[in-house]
């Protein structure tokens, strides 16, 4: 029953996003996802209380062949030396931690769609894996010659953007990949062309998609999937979208004034786009003393963008945390939980508390990332079509590897200002 398309559709329509927290240390591999339950009572805690974040699931590690190539040994054989107990303890710990270095061990998370995560290589953002972190299953995406590391030269710069999405009419999961190519002219880089590829999970190929030559981009961020369409916000404030039914990349209506602000020198560094309860939103914290949230009430209708929050008079410590904010949960009675990119949460309840600031503690990492996600028990074998699909399981594949972060106890506590 759980794999039936009708059940799956109802499950994701009626379920709400949970928050997954992952540590983001500059020289560590982080694969554990911690669950932050976003009920209002969780934020009624005092200075002596804390809310423990439970480790709910893990992500796969990058190919262990890369570890062997760099370190000169296989991870599964590193404990076979006959040495003293004390030396075994220290070498065992050091080897496990050093074997999984950030360069070769970590995946970045592109986006979440229907309980699945798309994972990419961190430096190029090239999508490599789609996984279900709850079941431990993952699929490797087919590779090809289109890779920034192969295309980049002193005069040519290529960069990739990606997203996982779902085509509801044919019940297929797809990964879209966008390559931009810039060419150096004297002292500046000029946009040259855009390439779009699409991959249907369960097949073995990427297909090239024709692109309107008038579309040019500087940088894309925040891949957001809604109703068979993936959206990105562009550096200049423009929104691009890709429809899986029409297989067309095109512009999408932005909130009023956003593109105009770009012409005035205001860029989207501090704007974030996402989805709450099936509605597209943009959260603008360009003005450090205010946070403005826009929602699109009628999908695809530019005139339906409206402001639902204009949070001003922020507490002073939050103003020190210059950076973007985005909502991760909306409650009744106008309450909302927002995440600040410098790793604190703002609980806003205008009728009761005003503001509360919460921090994540207990880790050797100062930085974290937040992933809105709907956990699912649906197997990749049921979700993905294809007879030759190879579904792997990282729970058994990496069971013997223990990372440094897995000894930490992560908790949330209130910061009083």
21-63 residue pLDDT tens: 998 877 778 889 998 877 766 666 555 567 888 888 888 887 6
Under the banding of pLDDT at 50, 70 and 90, the label for residue 177 is very high
Residue 43 within any structural domain of the chain: yes
Tokens of 381: 């074998």
Task: Give the chain's radius of gyration (CA, Å).
Answer: 22
| Of 81-85, 271-275, 327-331, 352-356, the least confident | 81-85
Residue 79 within any structural domain of the chain: no
| Of 141-155, 159-173, 229-243, the least confident | 141-155
Query: How would you list the strands of the sheet with 305-311, edge to edge?
Result: 271-276, 279-284, 291-296, 305-311
Residue 94 pLDDT more than 50? no
Tell me what pLDDT residue 65 has: 52
Q: Specify whether the CB–CB gap between 194 and 211 falls below 8 A.
A: yes
Under the banding of pLDDT at 50, 70 and 90, the label for residue 191 is confident
Residue 197 within any structural domain of the chain: yes
Tell me what pLDDT residue 325 has: 78
Q: Write the pLDDT tens digit of every residue in 2-22.
A: 555 655 666 566 667 788 999
Distance of alpha carbon 220 from the chain centroid: 13
The mean pLDDT value for 189-195 works out to 82
Phi, psi values for residue 305, rounded to 5°: -65, 130
Question: Over the chain, what is the mean pLDDT?
Answer: 78
Residue 184 within any structural domain of the chain: yes
Tell me what pLDDT residue 166 has: 96
Residue 137 pLDDT more than 60? yes
Residue 316 pLDDT more than 80? no
Beta bridge partners of 157: 182
Separate counts of helices (H) and strands (E) for the chain: 9, 27
Percent of the chain with pLDDT over 90: 29
Residue 264 pLDDT more than 70? no
Residue 321 pLDDT more than 50? yes
Residue 219 within any structural domain of the chain: yes
Domain of residue 295, residue span:
5-61+100-415
Under the banding of pLDDT at 50, 70 and 90, the label for residue 281 is very high
Higher pLDDT, 279 or 147: 279
Q: Specify whether the CB–CB gap between 265 and 279 falls below 8 A.
A: no
Tell me what pLDDT residue 108 has: 92
Residue 232 within any structural domain of the chain: yes
| Of 68-82, 207-221, 351-365, the least confident | 68-82
DSSP assigned state of 37: -
Under the banding of pLDDT at 50, 70 and 90, the label for residue 92 is very low
- Residues 270, 286: Cα–Cα separation, whole Å: 5
In order, the DSSP letters of 123-180 are TT--EEEEEETTTTEEEEPPP-S--HHHH--SSEEEEEEEEEEEETTTTEEEEEEEEE
Residue 416 pLDDT more than 90? no
CA distances from 217 to 126, 148, 236, 237, 250 (A): 17, 16, 8, 11, 12
- Model confidence pTM above 0.75: yes
Q: Specify whether the CB–CB gap between 12 and 168 falls below 8 A.
A: no
Sign, CA dihedral 102-104-108-113, equals negative
Under the banding of pLDDT at 50, 70 and 90, the label for residue 135 is very high
- Residues 176, 197: Cα–Cα separation, whole Å: 6
The dihedral region occupied by 236, where left means phi > 0, alpha psi between -120 and 50, and beta the remainder, is: alpha
The mean pLDDT value for 171-178 works out to 95
- How many domains, the chain? 1
State the CATH number of the domain containing residue 177: 2.120.10
Q: Coil, strand, or helix at residue 316? A: helix
Tell me what pLDDT residue 117 has: 96
Q: Specify whether the CB–CB gap between 293 and 282 falls below 8 A.
A: yes
Tell me what pLDDT residue 313 has: 62
Tell me what pLDDT residue 3 has: 55
- Residues 404, 67: Cα–Cα separation, whole Å: 17
Tell me what pLDDT residue 96 has: 43
Q: Specify whether the CB–CB gap between 56 and 20 falls below 8 A.
A: yes
Tell me what pLDDT residue 81 has: 32
The mean pLDDT value for 238-260 works out to 91
């Amino acid at each position: 029953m759980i794999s039936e398309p009708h059940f799956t559709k109802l499950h994701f329509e009626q379920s709400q996003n949970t928050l997954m927290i992952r540590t983001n240390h500059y020289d560590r591999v982080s694969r554990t996802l911690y669950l932050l339950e976003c009920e209002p009572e969780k934020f009624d805690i005092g200075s002596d209380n804390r809310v423990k974040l439970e480790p709910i699931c893990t992500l796969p590690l990058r190919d262990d062949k890369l570890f062997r190539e760099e370190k000169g040994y296989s991870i599964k054989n590193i404990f076979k030396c006959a040495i003293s107990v004390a030396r075994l303890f220290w070498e065992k710990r050091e080897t496990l931690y050093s074997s999984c270095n950030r360069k070769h061990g970590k995946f970045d998370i592109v986006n979440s769609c229907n309980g699945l995560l798309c994972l990419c290589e961190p430096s190029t953002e090239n999508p490599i894996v789609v996984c279900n972190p709850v079941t431990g299953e993952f699929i490797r995406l087919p590779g090809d010659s289109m890779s920034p590391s192969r295309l980049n030269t002193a005069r040519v710069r290529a960069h990739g953007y990606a997203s996982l999405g779902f085509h509801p009419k044919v019940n297929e999961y797809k990964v879209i990949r966008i390559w931009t190519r810039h060419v150096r002219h004297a002292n500046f880089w000029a946009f040259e062309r855009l390439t779009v590829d699409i991959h249907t999970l369960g097949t073995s190929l990427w297909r090239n998609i024709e692109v309107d030559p008038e579309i040019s981009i500087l940088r894309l961020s925040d891949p957001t999937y809604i109703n068979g369409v993936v959206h990105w916000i562009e550096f200049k404030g423009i929104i691009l979208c890709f429809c899986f039914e029409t297989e067309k990349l095109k512009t999408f209506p932005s909130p009023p004034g956003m593109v105009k602000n770009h012409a005035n020198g205001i860029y989207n560094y501090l704007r974030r786009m996402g989805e709450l309860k099936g509605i597209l939103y943009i959260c603008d914290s360009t003005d450090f003393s205010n946070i403005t949230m826009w929602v699109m009430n009628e999908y695809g209708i530019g005139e339906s963008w409206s402001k639902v929050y204009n949070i001003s008079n922020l507490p002073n410590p939050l103003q020190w945390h210059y950076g973007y904010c985005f909502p991760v949960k909306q409650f009744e009675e106008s309450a909302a939980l927002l995440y600040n990119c410098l790793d604190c949460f703002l609980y806003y309840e205008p009728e009761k508390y005003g503001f509360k600031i919460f921090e994540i503690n207990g880790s050797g990492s100062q930085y974290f990332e937040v992933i809105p996600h709907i956990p699912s028990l649906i197997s990749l074998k049921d979700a993905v079509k294809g007879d030759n699909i190879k579904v792997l399981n990282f729970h058994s594949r990496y069971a013997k590897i223990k990372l440094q972060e897995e000894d930490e106890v992560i908790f949330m506590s209130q910061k009083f200002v």
